């Protein structure tokens, strides 16, 4: 039997007196997080994994994190299992709310570590593009990974990024900004 604990954390963006639209939007995101937590808690129980579920709201998105040890099988090779669990969780939320969810799922900090790795890759590759003047296509990435790279490149003068190709081979190309 799994020993799962759900922990809700407050949004760093929430301010007393936020507009009613913001409060309503946050309430919807909190509801999405609660539905996702219930779904994931049942899943962890069935699969006999131990983990704590942390909920947060960031950048107009519900963030759900499963934290624990020995959860690597839930991440899978290159995060494929994590991506599938995220999609299943989004579908469970959509089934309950009737609305498409942009919920983000992380397991044992995998996405956070990947975000740091991709930011470093983007910065390094942008430097190479600036030095050589040659465009640099990166390996195919999922939408989350491409967004991280685009965000990192957006902060570097002299280069820009574009997505190219079709799923599942869609990739980011870093280009000299002329």
The pLDDT, as a whole number, for residue 144 is 86
Specify the pTM: 0.75
The pLDDT, as a whole number, for residue 84 is 95
Domain range for 139 is 112-176
Instruction: Kindly state whether residues 83 and 121 are assigned to the same domain.
Output: no
Which residue, 108, 125, 150, sits at the end of a domain? 108
Report the number of distinct structural domains present in the chain: 2
Q: What is the CATH number of the domain that holds 70?
A: 3.30.300.20
Which residue, 108, 139, 163, sits at the end of a domain? 108
The pLDDT, as a whole number, for residue 18 is 44
Burial annotation 99-118 (CB, 10 A radius, 16+ → b, else e):
eebebbbbbbebbeebbeeb
Instruction: Kindly state whether residues 136 and 159 are assigned to the same domain.
Output: yes
The pLDDT, as a whole number, for residue 26 is 86
Per-block average pLDDT, block size 10, for the chain (178 residues)? 46 41 79 96 94 92 94 92 96 96 95 95 97 96 93 96 94 94
Q: What is the CATH number of the domain that holds 151?
A: 3.30.1370.50
Read off the tokens for 107.
């397991």
DSSP assignment string, 54-100:
EEEEETTEEEEEEE-SS-HHHH-GGGHHHHHHHHHHHHHHHHHHSS-
The pLDDT, as a whole number, for residue 101 is 94
The pLDDT, as a whole number, for residue 145 is 93
The pLDDT, as a whole number, for residue 22 is 60
């Amino acid at each position: 039997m799994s020993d799962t604990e759900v922990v809700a954390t407050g949004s760093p963006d929430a301010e007393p007196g936020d507009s009613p639209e913001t409060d309503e939007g946050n309430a919807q995101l909190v509801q999405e997080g609660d539905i996702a937590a219930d779904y994931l808690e049942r899943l962890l129980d069935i699969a006999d994994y131990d983990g704590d579920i942390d909920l947060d709201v960031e950048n107009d998105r519900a963030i759900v994190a499963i934290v624990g040890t020995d959860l690597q099988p839930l991440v899978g090779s290159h995060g494929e299992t994590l991506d599938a669990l995220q999609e299943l969780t989004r579908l469970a939320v959509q089934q309950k709310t009737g609305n498409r969810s942009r919920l983000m799922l992380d397991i044992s900090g995998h996405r956070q570590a990947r975000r740091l790795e991709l930011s470093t890759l983007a910065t390094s590759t942008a430097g190479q593009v600036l030095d050589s003047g040659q465009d640099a296509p990166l390996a195919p990435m999922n939408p989350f990974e491409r967004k991280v790279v685009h965000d990192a490149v957006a902060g570097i003068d002299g280069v820009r990024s574009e997505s190219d190709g079709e799923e599942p081979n869609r990739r980011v190309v870093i280009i000299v900004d002329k």
